[in-house]
Structure 1
């Protein structure tokens, strides 16, 4: 304890501040305070090959009031291990800004993530991340580009891509709706050279030069450019471009009604049979032109979702859900023959869910480079996503997974201003139609000269979407928008077929400076139609739900395509139509996303590596004193997920303590921050524990902190005890351990993690120090971790005792997935031991084997050991 005697108050204050700055956090880890000198660090590329030169930049400033002279330090770590240190002398005058750089040669080891920390030793530091991977599809961090207008300058493009690559570590970009036609992507009026521009399906201007500028900017950051393409669709009048209707898909056996998507603007997409070889060759040639002419690196293949009871041209029933792999593999082969270095392919598994439509065909049978899946309404809660990601990756030999999951969908979020509280002319307040917000809405907004004027307050300077909630039962309507008296544009309102429906799909984007503004919605001479106006929202994403959803996706083993190139800064994806910008990130959310992407890049090997095995969803591994926990993402709990690698047990804690509904896409409350969580974590008796570490995107710039721990044994098994200092949204605890396979790969049951069962030695013939006894009731369970040296088919042989008079059964789970029922016939007495086995395929590495007494199982057993053959 510090004691002060007769010290002046100012001296005491200075000393306390010094103690807090230098020694906050655990006693064995120096935790730095907010940076007085180092403001930001970034690298010159989004990804590096082994042995590449890596340049790391640090933006510095001095606002301390005095000059600074000293050392600038850099340290690079892989997980908990320091791999490189350097320093240089710097001088910063008061008020001076400067950028300093370090160089590092990436190691020869491929597919590794690193964290880099730069600091001055004055109690400050910032961190960044480095991905050393020769192939970006091993750890994809996928962004998107939604607009290709000629007004986007080359300097705009460079700034946008540099921001996403360097501040958010995005290493590949989906170019969305850039093409002229879906079957003829690049318009060539002379048959040879690309036109300077064209219009897309929705009449947007597409500049070929802008596309080229984006591709070049992506390549300059060592990223990859993926061309979004529909995989089996052609536009109206497709026969003019060499597409034959005999390749099509139809609603009837006589090929009179071809499957199509009508966009209600005179534009259609007509669908074709993915397995038709003529279509495969046609669209393969279109894809090759995309690569050869524009310089894209690969194709992002999309589809239109489930279609049943359909036919090919000849009237044969057609199973669309099992036909995609044929197309994908044909396309992949064609692209590889064309240019193997530009042959990346992924395919959208629409409406992704466990055992979902087309899942097995695409994930098991197709030669994609990674999994891509759009999530709609069949995987709504946190655990749905976790289960789906695990199945998706297991199906595909642990290929990387990217989720297109649209956050805060169907929510009108942000500061809201009710129309009935605004100033207005020519309209009146009403309540006679349902669905409005606030105390009413404004009706009879139908004549020239009518207007509604809102006074809003912008919390920060940025580009805001002005989102109007309205009703319209007439024709398409328009209104002119004025900001602070200046005309800025026109907004379109769409008929809903009833006045008893209020929607919020009318919006426009405009930059507002911080502070108060007037926004006038006016019926000018060029406007049309009648509307009811309900409210104006400055559309924003909900930070709490974004951070919790990303934690759920990433801890489960998938990344999230969510960040795109905006005119002013990075934007976030709110909608399946990627150019939609009806919600924006606040400055606080942008900072959180930077921390998140830095974290998942630095720790990619602990989050996404193919060698990671999955634990099950039971609570047998963990106890947190005084806290509600769950293994299945229950709202109001701390959600735990366990993963294993050869060297680590990995425990994810996601704070759902204040979550309202367990629905990942919905806005929610901020978590209740948990401090000093006393955790008991169970490990195999065979495991030798060396260290426990904590890392989080929410703490200490993502750096790893060593946690003190003790070991012990109780009726459940061997455990570690440690204290988690803080859980905000998501903490990752990774436990360094050695799990050596025992002699003859024989794992003793008494050393397992035991749930509601005991051990005993009262029957002869057992191996080891005893056996598991009382394994006789529903919910009883044993969990083992096994270390498999060679991938392939293995036999799980369980040595058991059973003298109950009938066959005993147990459900067996491997890495959290059900693999079969173990049948154990009755034996002559309890001193006789029998063997029961299951055959499964295991990859090399650590796996969890769980034997569980399910509701459909029967009879008590003793369990002696498990041998993995």
Structure 2
């Protein structure tokens, strides 16, 4: 394998990859005997395997359910390709207690032992802290919603292992998120800034029902916003940010006919005291697990009330540090809009990295954001990307290939994707739900989230990216970043394992992940093709898994080692496949 990339050299890593992106086998590309593509596998779960929660604490029992018991079916529990236990499927419900170790992902497979056919798979995440491996979803409607409908939403998200929820636009005013009556009790209803009705009971029920499923709840609010302050609010204009030095022109975020959000100075200690007290009102009445803070990106030159030039990024840092001191038990995360302020943000006690992606338009740009966040946090925090798919489309369905390929890239580099709530997300205004998921996307996406969870200890739990030396006589390869027409190779070393990931761009027609015009095409699928991998050690085991193949179930692969080369036959590649070499 290639040289290990040091923690603080990700930029050099990307430059080297750009220079060497043909280093796999493209220097002999004219001699390739390219494998003909095949009809993609059409895998479907047959027994309706489900579990009861989004994640589990160490020592907590997992409850499973299937629609029927089928003869000759066994339950196989695995950790990173290793079988931990097997038992016969003898009832439609059963329990399993995973090993006590914290922060581990497992794969549970239902297998017909007569022919080793995989009938169903599901992942299990055992983590005491959900922000170690954040899988973030959202809620955006809090009106008169029945408990049955709320439970339906949450159970669907639970099946995707969503372990944290952002409550988008649940509040009344940015500077008074939870309105109280004259007696200091929460109002029963209020309206958000777009005049949608919000019911306290709905918000409260969502929080409590989510906790039953081990799903955390984070309330959304700006770090520096005031919405229509009135006499009696206790708000002071001296807390605002200004476009001039004479506090005549305050900074505003215009919402057209609805008015404007006034931008406050996050460094102002009186503003912090005020909004922390309003946040205390939230926590005293609603059992939120933390605050999802938002910003508005680079606002240009700003001044405080006294005419001094503001440093907004330093203001974020000061605010977050003081917020954590004030609410030490609550989680906090701040959106780095297009990475604005992220270096300062990740110096504070935020619990994971969050980036809303705008100007980064290529698949390789998404990876660069993840690597930047990794370096800025000293490899301590995982990343959630708010990356809105098919953004310019206003009707119809999401384009399945663009969503799956984007998720494959994000997940392969250890990130996760904010995209699932009451619907799939396509705009920064979360209630927008004009696009729908077709059944093939729904089914495939569950396999992708299972895969991310089952193999989280390879994908999201440390390790060092490497530049691999991989070649094939059958398909076109190049090291990351991607090239249309090739499968792109990503290498990583973690513990005693070398991980080789193949991200397939053979057959695709754009490298723009957002796919605004829904033109992305499915990659060509390949089966049973050769792969040669250079190694610098002896190998004891090789195994394969793909979210596109048999539900992500792992499969041991025969190999031949000749000196410093491993030769294998890869079972399958459509969007994303993973090969693991163990010493």
TM-based fold match above 0.5: yes
- Aligned counterparts of 2:266 and 2:566: Cα–Cα separation in 1: 54
Aligned to 2:464: 613
Aligned to 1:604: 456
Aligned to 1:242: 234
- Aligned counterparts of 2:427 and 2:89: Cα–Cα separation in 1: 47
Aligned to 1:719: 565
- 1:149 matched to 2:147? The reply is no
1:125-177 residue CA offsets vs partner (Å, 9 max, x unmatched): 21111100000001111111110111x10111011101210x21111111110
Counterpart of 1:349 (choices 336, 342, 348) is 336
| Structure 1 position 239, deviation (Å) | 5.6
Within 5 Å, which residues of 2 pair with 1:262-341? 262-336=254-328, 340=329
| Structure 1 position 34, deviation (Å) | 6.9
1:571-600 residue CA offsets vs partner (Å, 9 max, x unmatched): 200100000001110111100111111111
1:595 is paired with a residue of what secondary structure?
helix
TM-score (norm. length: structure 2): 0.89
Within 5 Å, which residues of 2 pair with 1:556-571? 556-565=413-422, 571=423
Counterpart of 1:114 (choices 87, 106, 115) is 106
- Aligned counterparts of 2:72 and 2:573: Cα–Cα separation in 1: 33
Which structure's relative contact order is higher, taking Cα pairs within 8 Å and 6+ residues apart?
2
CA contact (8 A) 1:33 1:124 kept: no
| Structure 1 position 274, deviation (Å) | 1.2
Aligned to 1:44: 52
- Aligned counterparts of 2:365 and 2:434: Cα–Cα separation in 1: 27
Distance 1:35 1:308, change over 3 A: closer
Counterpart of 2:527 (choices 666, 675, 678) is 675
- Aligned counterparts of 2:391 and 2:565: Cα–Cα separation in 1: 42
Within 5 Å, which residues of 2 pair with 1:313-712? 313-336=305-328, 340=329, 343-352=330-339, 357-363=340-346, 365-377=347-359, 379-398=360-379, 399-411=381-393, 467=395, 539-565=396-422, 571-609=423-461, 611-616=462-467, 621-630=469-478, 631-666=480-515, 667=518, 668-684=520-536, 687-712=537-562
TM-score (norm. length: structure 1): 0.60
Q: Which has the higher helix share?
A: 2
- Aligned counterparts of 1:642 and 1:285: Cα–Cα separation in 2: 48
Aligned to 2:5: none
- More deviation in 188-197 or 402-411? 188-197
- Aligned counterparts of 2:356 and 2:466: Cα–Cα separation in 1: 25
- Aligned counterparts of 1:615 and 1:267: Cα–Cα separation in 2: 51
CA contact (8 A) 1:695 1:705 kept: yes
Aligned to 2:85: 84
Structure 1 unpaired stretches of 5+? 1-31, 62-67, 91-99, 413-466, 468-538, 566-570, 738-869
Aligned to 2:575: 729
1:628-649 residue CA offsets vs partner (Å, 9 max, x unmatched): 3232112222111111101211
Counterpart of 1:53 (choices 57, 61, 76) is 61
- Aligned counterparts of 1:330 and 1:263: Cα–Cα separation in 2: 30
| Structure 1 position 107, deviation (Å) | 1.6
Counterpart of 1:136 (choices 121, 130, 134) is 130
- Aligned counterparts of 2:50 and 2:89: Cα–Cα separation in 1: 17
- Aligned counterparts of 2:368 and 2:192: Cα–Cα separation in 1: 38
Distance 1:697 1:124, change over 3 A: closer
1:125 is paired with a residue of what secondary structure?
strand
- 1:170 matched to 2:165? The reply is no
- More deviation in 399-408 or 259-268? 259-268
Runs of 4+ in 1 over 6 A off after TM superposition: 32-36
Distance 1:88 1:651, change over 3 A: closer
Structure 2 unpaired stretches of 5+? 1-40
CA contact (8 A) 1:306 1:321 kept: no
CA contact (8 A) 1:258 1:270 kept: yes
Query: Which one has the largest radius of gyration?
Result: 1
| Structure 1 position 75, deviation (Å) | 1.6
| Structure 1 position 88, deviation (Å) | 4.9
| Structure 1 position 308, deviation (Å) | 1.6
- Aligned counterparts of 1:89 and 1:229: Cα–Cα separation in 2: 49
- Aligned counterparts of 2:305 and 2:119: Cα–Cα separation in 1: 65
Distance 1:71 1:670, change over 3 A: closer
CA contact (8 A) 2:385 2:417 kept: yes
- Aligned counterparts of 1:86 and 1:238: Cα–Cα separation in 2: 65
2:142 is paired with a residue of what secondary structure?
coil
- More deviation in 274-283 or 300-309? 274-283
- Aligned counterparts of 2:534 and 2:105: Cα–Cα separation in 1: 28
1:301 is paired with a residue of what secondary structure?
strand
1:636-675 residue CA offsets vs partner (Å, 9 max, x unmatched): 2211111110121111101111222211111301101122
CA contact (8 A) 1:136 1:172 kept: yes
Instruction: Give the number of equivalent residue pairs.
Output: 536
CA contact (8 A) 1:370 1:401 kept: yes
Distance 1:119 1:672, change over 3 A: closer
